[in-house]
């Protein structure tokens, strides 16, 4: 538990400091939450006192103050809760914004191009939302509940210390110990469930991706059976976990029962012995009932804590990681553009093996050099090195001029075509954008939306938008990374024709294994 | 019921001590109370276990049906795989909240207020009146709040959705931004969008927390009102102390389930959304039953497209215009034509992945006459086909595992043999990761060709081969086409390559679909 706690706690502190008056906001939402819970406990206690006092049939005047109090608590609970939720969510959103900014900042400083990053980027996005859960569902309610427990215990302790002690104990049991135990238990079960869940996701993913092949070769039934076996396993693990959660809820109810019965027992004897005013007995007995209602969501919060804690720990690891390379590529115009690699060893920093050893290459104006090698050797890592985004392990890389890089999987942002092209040149005018699109062979209206990850354009069109991005600004040197990969023959051919026309006689380095592309180059260099 | 018993016991014993100033009977009351609490705990535990069981059963059922639906329509686009994973795993998990929290609370909300209200009515009708008056106000007010804010919220959600996804979009595009030297400059954009995101979210929350506010206010206020009125009536002796306490303890419980329904309402929304997503997938697959007739032997039967065309549901133009084409046994036919003419769709109809939306596809033999392909048993039909898709999908395991999809009983020698024949430069034991990771596009293609070759050795009578993506060598393909010749099987292939076109008996040009 401590392992997950400390990076999370450090991160929380830093984020609170990053938010304008963060600590004040946190204190305010905790106090408001405590006020709201306290109001419902006080409502019950004061009502009990009111009834007991009324049963003694005093003049009505004596009851007026209590009656006003009861109404006050009745209203204040709802009002305080409403304000608390707004203040708490506002704080959580501010902290999330701060966290996202830090995450973005830290990621933008480390070179990502050519890194085998798996699902790092998507996971980071999902993990950053955990801060909201942590603030709204864990930190604020737990701190507020602690205040209410202490407050109630002190109030009760003033007229029945024994009963207050039992109340405090039972509150610790229901509000701290039981949620903590459930968290431990579900931590173990989640640990068992995570790989099973992962396997289920893998099976679904694979079955879906290979659906045609499976069906064509009659292996679909078997795939379905395999999937259901994993499902069955997951079901067993989840059943155990629900068993534990149910037990915790039952424990909380019993703890409330113990507090109530103990109050009745201790208070009853005190009344019989004349040590306690009889009208306080009802207060003693009914207060625990209201107090324990505060804890009912705590087992859930404990599980939220586990999940949010591990998400933030993963994120903290990303934030604390040493940056690799320089992040952004640097663009310096040059009159004599070109690229020379001299005895260069290329590899991702920190990897055990380089991608390429002692490699020399020269690309000058008018030359189109194809770099050919088997898939999966890390050709994008070579591109990142050539662009100066990561250092070479040894040897000298000298590239002069502004580099235009056409990626195989260039990201299309969920905005207009024009904005996507403008990534290549911030201050591009609409005419310049239309011109770049035209040279890339596209006749798109500038305000057309490309959808999430380019979902409303075809693969060939996406590659052309990426090309327009390269063409929209002055480029002295071009690097093309698998320009025809995943395109069909005609599309690939048409794209390359337009591309060669657009680059004119600028030096070009093409990373490819397409024989047609190689044939169009002035020089072919084979790797490995 | 236990709650009522608990309230009754509590009020009795408190009043007992209050009036007699002695602890007589406290033992029995205490023991009974503990028993009541224990019983409530037991019921809560049972409810948790049973609710889980119900939701697990529904989840498993939906998982099976969703995946079966996916396999009935195996040609869905590849991007849908991640959506499917979300729906089947975390999406369906949202049903847990629906079954374990929302549904039980909803049931309680329908029953408990009447039970508890009845108990209060029996004890003190005036208090019951207050509860009966305020309780129905809760759903009414909530509906009113929801109704007046729905429009404003929906409008904001569109904005919110865009703002919320902006960060994800930027982070995913970071490598691209870095290549253009623009990543660091965008940090300011992140700060601005996040601020706008927070403002917009808070505006939505101001409104959406209102319903919870109304709920809390009405519930606690009416308890307060009950307490005060009962208190004053107690002073004047209109009601006795036991009843007063009993009513006070019970009043909050009348509101509790209704409040809980409100609290868990979003669980229900998530759960319903998850189920809807699952049903959408199941429904999209259609429910026409598979054919049952044994497929005629393709060595002696003709396959005929009779004006068979296909339009995707909801699409405004056809993927394949009506096609007339006859494949004779042992004949090798090449399909060519512009991109988008429906070549791949024609192969899909032949494989039975999709049914023609116009015309039909028949298998004609001298013994059985002309049979609609849809009426044939899919297993007996497909075992005569050797299929090579455009982008082969591989299952994780080894290369050999993937080749063996064609014939599970094939020995490793035979697997290596077919791999060698298609010119594989990698071992049959090489591991294949997710999405064919570890193999290049060319290697993937060769595994698929080796698989088809093995299938032909096992007596498949028709090769169905789609064109690979650009940049892959043609030699290994020719090997397979020669193998088809050697076995006397037929073939329907999509290709542009002159070598493959020369091998074909006939080339059929598909007209581009008019835009």
**Cα–Cα distance between B413 and B404 in angstroms, integer?**
12
What is the least distance, in Å, from the CA of B183 to any CA of chain A? 6
Candidates A51, A41, A527, A29; CA nearest to A282 is A51
CB contact under 8 A, B180 and A278: no
pLDDT of residue A114: 67
Contacts of A405 in chain B (CB under 8 A): 179-180
Contacts of A491 in chain B (CB under 8 A): 339, 470
Same domain (yes/no): A375, A459: yes
**Given a cut of 80, is residue A458 above it in pLDDT?**
no
Candidates A46, A291, A295, A38; CA nearest to B224 is A46
Residue, of A230 and A331, whose pLDDT is higher: A230
Q: What is the pTM of this model?
A: 0.76
Task: Point out the least confidently predicted range of A9-23, A493-507, B165-179, B266-280.
Answer: B266-280
CB B438 within 8 A of CB B394: no
Confidence class for position A88, pLDDT limits 50, 70, 90: very high
CATH value at residue A76? 1.20.1560.10
Transcribe A326-369 into DSSP letters.
TSSPP----SS-EEEEEEEEE--TT-SS-SEEEEEEEE-TT-EE
Same domain (yes/no): A496, A462: yes
Same domain (yes/no): A282, A397: no
pLDDT of residue A27: 94
pLDDT of residue B78: 44
**Given a cut of 80, is residue B212 above it in pLDDT?**
no
CB A527 within 8 A of CB A357: no
Backbone phi, psi, residue A358, to 5°: 40, 60
CATH value at residue A483? 3.40.50.300
Same domain (yes/no): A144, A62: yes
CB contact under 8 A, A75 and B220: yes
- The 10 Å CB-count burial string (b at 16+, else e) for A79-110 is bbbbbbbbbbbbbbbbbbbbbbbbbbbbbbbb
Tell me, yes or no, whether A378 lies in a domain. Answer: yes
Cross-chain CB nearest to A213 (options B194, B405, B442) = B405
CB A438 within 8 A of CB A464: no
Tell me the mean pLDDT in the region B142-147: 73
Tell me the mean pLDDT in the region B263-267: 69
What is the least distance, in Å, from the CA of A358 to any CA of chain B? 24
Cross-chain CB nearest to A86 (options B33, B205, B385) = B205
Same domain (yes/no): A346, A457: yes
CB contact under 8 A, B220 and A82: no
pLDDT of residue B311: 85
pLDDT of residue A115: 66
Candidates B449, B422, B448, B444; CA nearest to B433 is B444
- In A472-508, where does DSSP find H-type helix? 489-503
pLDDT of residue B37: 84
Same domain (yes/no): A313, A415: no
Contacts of A331 in chain B (CB under 8 A): 181
Tell me the mean pLDDT in the region B141-168: 70
Helix/strand/coil for A116: coil
Contacts of B435 in chain A (CB under 8 A): 205-206, 209
Tell me the mean pLDDT in the region A416-429: 90
Confidence class for position A87, pLDDT limits 50, 70, 90: very high
Nearest residue in B to A70, CA atom: B224
CB contact under 8 A, A375 and B442: yes
Percent of chain B whose pLDDT exceeds 90: 5
**Cα–Cα distance between B102 and A231 in angstroms, integer?**
24
Residue, of A90 and B512, whose pLDDT is higher: A90
Same domain (yes/no): A372, A293: no
CB contact under 8 A, A54 and B49: no
Confidence class for position A25, pLDDT limits 50, 70, 90: very high
Residues B435-470 pLDDT 10s: 666 677 778 888 898 999 899 888 888 999 887 765
Tell me the mean pLDDT in the region B374-403: 87
Number of domains comprising chain A = 2
What is the least distance, in Å, from the CA of B264 to any CA of chain A? 11
Domain residue limits at A402: 338-526
Backbone phi, psi, residue A504, to 5°: 50, -130
Q: Which of A108, A467, A478 to mutate to test the interface with B (most CBs of B within 10 A)?
A: A108
CB contact under 8 A, A85 and B53: no
Percent of chain A whose pLDDT exceeds 90: 15
To 10 degrees, what angle do helices A140-157 and A281-293 make? 170
Q: Which of A35, A57, A76, A104 to mutate to test the interface with B (most CBs of B within 10 A)?
A: A104
Token look-up 């060893």 returns A345
Contacts of B52 in chain A (CB under 8 A): 238-239, 242
pLDDT of residue B276: 82
Handedness of CA A370, A373, A379, A382 (dihedral sign): negative
Spatial strand order of the sheet with A403-406 comes to A403-406, A477-481, A508-512, A368-372, A523-526
pLDDT of residue B181: 86
Residue extents of the structural domains in chain B: 302-510
Same domain (yes/no): A215, A342: no
Contacts of B183 in chain A (CB under 8 A): 108, 327-328
For chain B, give the mean pLDDT.
81
Q: Which of A294, A320, A346 is the last residue of a domain?
A: A320
Tell me, yes or no, whether A149 lies in a domain. Answer: yes
CB contact under 8 A, A487 and B469: yes
Cross-chain CB nearest to B178 (options A238, A279, A328) = A328
pLDDT of residue B220: 83
Tell me the mean pLDDT in the region B333-339: 81
Tell me the mean pLDDT in the region B58-87: 76
Residue, of B330 and B287, whose pLDDT is higher: B330
Same domain (yes/no): A391, A432: yes
Task: Point out the least confidently predicted range of A352-361, B141-150, B223-232, B244-253.
Answer: B141-150
CB contact under 8 A, A411 and B175: yes
CB contact under 8 A, B441 and A274: no
pLDDT of residue A329: 82
pLDDT of residue B306: 92
**Given a cut of 70, is residue A5 above it in pLDDT?**
no
CB contact under 8 A, B353 and A212: yes
Taking residue A388's Cβ as centre, other Cβ atoms within 10 Å add up to: 17
CB contact under 8 A, B18 and A512: no
Q: Which of A266, A290, A320 is the last residue of a domain?
A: A320
CB contact under 8 A, B201 and A89: yes
- CATH among 1.10.3470.10, 1.20.140.10, 3.40.50.300, 3.40.50.1000 for B302-510: 3.40.50.300
What's the Cα-to-Cα distance from A2 to each of A8, A9, A173, B149, B177, rounded to whole Å? 10, 10, 21, 44, 38
**Given a cut of 50, is residue B515 above it in pLDDT?**
no
CB B167 within 8 A of CB A97: no
Q: Which of B227, B249, B338, B390 to mutate to test the interface with A (most CBs of A within 10 A)?
A: B227
Same domain (yes/no): A252, A369: no
pLDDT of residue A1: 40
Same domain (yes/no): A373, A310: no
What's the Cα-to-Cα distance from B317 to each of A11, A67, B136, B347, rounded to whole Å? 54, 74, 53, 18
Residue, of A91 and B122, whose pLDDT is higher: A91
For chain A, give the mean pLDDT.
84
Q: Which of A45, A74, A98, A224 to mutate to test the interface with B (most CBs of B within 10 A)?
A: A74
pLDDT of residue A119: 61
What is the least distance, in Å, from the CA of A389 to any CA of chain B? 8
**Given a cut of 60, is residue A375 above it in pLDDT?**
no
Tell me, yes or no, whether A333 lies in a domain. Answer: no
pLDDT of residue B1: 60
Tell me, yes or no, whether A412 lies in a domain. Answer: yes
Residues A123-153 pLDDT 10s: 777 788 888 888 988 899 989 999 999 999 9
Same domain (yes/no): A135, A7: yes
CB contact under 8 A, B245 and A48: yes
Number of Cβ pairs closer than 8 Å across A and B?
A: 460
Contacts of A289 in chain B (CB under 8 A): 249
What is the least distance, in Å, from the CA of A261 to any CA of chain B? 6
**Cα–Cα distance between B52 and A234 in angstroms, integer?**
12
Percent of chain A whose pLDDT exceeds 70: 96
pLDDT of residue B150: 67
ipTM, 2 dp: 0.81
């Amino acid at each position: 538990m401590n392992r997950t706690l400390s990076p999370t706690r450090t991160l929380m502190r830093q984020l609170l400091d990053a938010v304008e008056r963060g600590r004040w906001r946190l204190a305010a939402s905790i106090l408001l939450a405590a006020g709201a819970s306290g109001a419902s406990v006080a409502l019950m206690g004061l009502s009990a006192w009111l009834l007991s006092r009324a049963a003694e049939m005093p003049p009505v005047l004596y009851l007026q103050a209590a009656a006003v109090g009861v109404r006050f608590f009745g209203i204040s609970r709802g009002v305080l809760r409403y304000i608390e939720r707004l203040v708490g969510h506002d704080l959580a959103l501010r902290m999330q914004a701060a966290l996202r900014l830090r995450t973005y900042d830290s990621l933008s400083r480390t070179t990502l191009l050519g890194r085998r990053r798996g699902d790092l980027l998507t996971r980071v996005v999902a993990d950053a939302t955990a801060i909201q859960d942590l603030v709204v569902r864990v930190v604020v309610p737990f701190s507020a509940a602690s205040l209410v427990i202490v407050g109630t215990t002190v109030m009760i302790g003033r007229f029945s210390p024994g009963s207050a002690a039992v109340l405090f104990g039972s509150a610790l049991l229901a509000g701290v110990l039981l949620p903590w135990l459930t968290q431990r238990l579900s931590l173990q079960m989640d640990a068992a469930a995570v790989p099973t869940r992962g396997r289920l996701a893998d099976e679904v993913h694979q079955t879906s991706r290979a659906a045609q092949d499976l069906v064509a070769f009659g292996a679909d039934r078997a795939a379905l059976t395999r999937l259901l076996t994993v499902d069955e396993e997951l079901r067993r693990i989840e059943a155990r976990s629900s068993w534990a959660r149910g037990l915790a809820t039952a424990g909380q109810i019993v703890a409330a029962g113990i507090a109530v019965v103990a109050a009745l027992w201790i208070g009853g004897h005190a009344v019989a012995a004349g040590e306690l005013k009889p009208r306080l007995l009802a207060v003693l007995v009914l207060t625990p009932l209201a107090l324990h209602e505060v804890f009912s969501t705590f087992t859930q919060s404990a599980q939220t804590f586990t999940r949010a804690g591990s998400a933030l720990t993963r994120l903290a690891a990303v934030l604390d990681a040493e940056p690799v390379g320089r992040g952004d590529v640097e663009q310096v115009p040059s009159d004599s553009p070109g690229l020379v690699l001299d005895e260069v060893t290329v590899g991702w920093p920190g990897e055990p093996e380089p991608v390429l050893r002692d490699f020399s290459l020269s690309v000058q104006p008018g030359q189109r050099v194809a770099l050919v090698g088997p898939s999966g050797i890390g050709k994008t890592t070579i591109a990142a090195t050539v662009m100066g985004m990561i250092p070479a392990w040894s040897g000298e890389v000298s590239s002069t001029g502004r580099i235009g890089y056409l990626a195989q999987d260039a990201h299309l942002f969920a905005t207009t075509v024009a904005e996507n092209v403008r990534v290549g040149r911030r201050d591009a005018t609409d005419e310049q954008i239309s011109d770049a699109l035209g040279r890339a062979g596209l006749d798109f209206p500038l305000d057309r939306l490309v959808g999430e990850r380019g979902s409303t354009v075809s693969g060939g069109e996406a590659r052309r938008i990426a090309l327009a991005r390269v063409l929209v600004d002055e480029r002295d040197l071009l690097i093309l990374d698998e320009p025809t990969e995943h395109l069909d023959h005609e599309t690939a051919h048409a794209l390359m024709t337009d591309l060669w026309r657009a680059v004119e006689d600028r030096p070009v380095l093409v990373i490819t294994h397409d024989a047609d592309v190689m044939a169009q180059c002035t020089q072919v260099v084979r790797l490995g | 019921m236990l709650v009522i018993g608990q309230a009754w016991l509590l009020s009795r014993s408190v009043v007992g001590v209050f009036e007699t100033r002695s602890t007589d009977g406290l033992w029995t009351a205490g023991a009974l109370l503990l028993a009541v609490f224990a019983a409530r705990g037991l019921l809560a535990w049972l409810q948790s276990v049973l609710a889980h069981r119900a939701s697990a059963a529904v989840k498993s059922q939906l998982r099976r049906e969703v995946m079966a639906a996916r396999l009935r329509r195996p040609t869905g686009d590849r991007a849908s795989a991640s959506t499917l994973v979300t729906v089947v795993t975390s999406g369906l998990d949202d049903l847990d909240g629906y079954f374990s929290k929302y549904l039980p609370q909803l049931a309680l909300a329908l029953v408990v207020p009447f039970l508890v209200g009845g108990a209060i009515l029996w004890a003190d009708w005036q208090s019951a009146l207050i509860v009966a008056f305020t309780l129905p106000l809760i759903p009414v007010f909530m509906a009113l709040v929801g109704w007046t804010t729905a429009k404003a919220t929906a409008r904001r959600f569109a904005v919110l959705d865009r703002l919320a996804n902006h960060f994800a979009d930027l982070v995913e595009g970071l490598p691209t931004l870095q290549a253009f030297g623009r990543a660091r400059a965008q940090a300011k954009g992140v700060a601005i969008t996040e601020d706008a995101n927070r403002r917009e979210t808070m505006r939505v929350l101001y409104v959406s927390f209102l319903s919870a506010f109304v709920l809390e206010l009405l519930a606690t206020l009416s308890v307060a009102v009950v307490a005060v009125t009962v208190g004053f009536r107690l002073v004047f002796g209109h009601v006795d102390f036991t009843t007063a306490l009993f009513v006070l303890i019970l009043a909050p419980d009348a509101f509790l389930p209704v409040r809980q329904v409100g609290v868990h309402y979003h669980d229900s929304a998530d759960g319903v959304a998850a189920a809807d997503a699952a049903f959408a997938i199941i429904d999209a697959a259609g429910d026409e039953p598979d054919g049952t007739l044994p497929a005629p032997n393709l060595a002696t039967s003709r396959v005929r497209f009779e004006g068979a065309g296909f339009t995707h549901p909801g699409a405004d133009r056809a993927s394949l215009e009506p096609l007339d084409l006859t494949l004779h046994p042992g004949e090798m036919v090449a399909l060519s034509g512009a991109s988008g003419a429906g070549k791949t769709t024609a192969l899909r109809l032949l494989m039975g992945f999709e049914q023609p939306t116009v015309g039909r596809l028949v298998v004609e033999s001298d013994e059985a006459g002309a049979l609609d392909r849809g009426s044939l048993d899919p297993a007996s039909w497909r075992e005569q086909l050797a299929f090579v898709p455009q982008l082969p999908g591989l299952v994780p395991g080894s290369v050999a595992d993937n080749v063996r999809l064609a014939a599970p009983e094939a020995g490793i020698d035979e697997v290596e043999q077919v791999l060698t024949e298609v010119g594989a430069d990698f071992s049959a034991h090489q591991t294949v990761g997710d999405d064919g990771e570890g193999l290049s596009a060319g290697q993937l293609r060769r595994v698929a060709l080796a698989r088809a070759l093995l299938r032909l050795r096992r007596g498949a009578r028709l090769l169905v081969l789609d064109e690979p993506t650009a940049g892959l060598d043609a030699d290994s393909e020719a090997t397979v086409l020669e193998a088809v010749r050697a076995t006397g099987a037929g073939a329907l292939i999509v290709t542009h390559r002159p070598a493959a076109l020369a091998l074909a008996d006939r080339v059929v040009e598909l007209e581009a679909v008019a835009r």
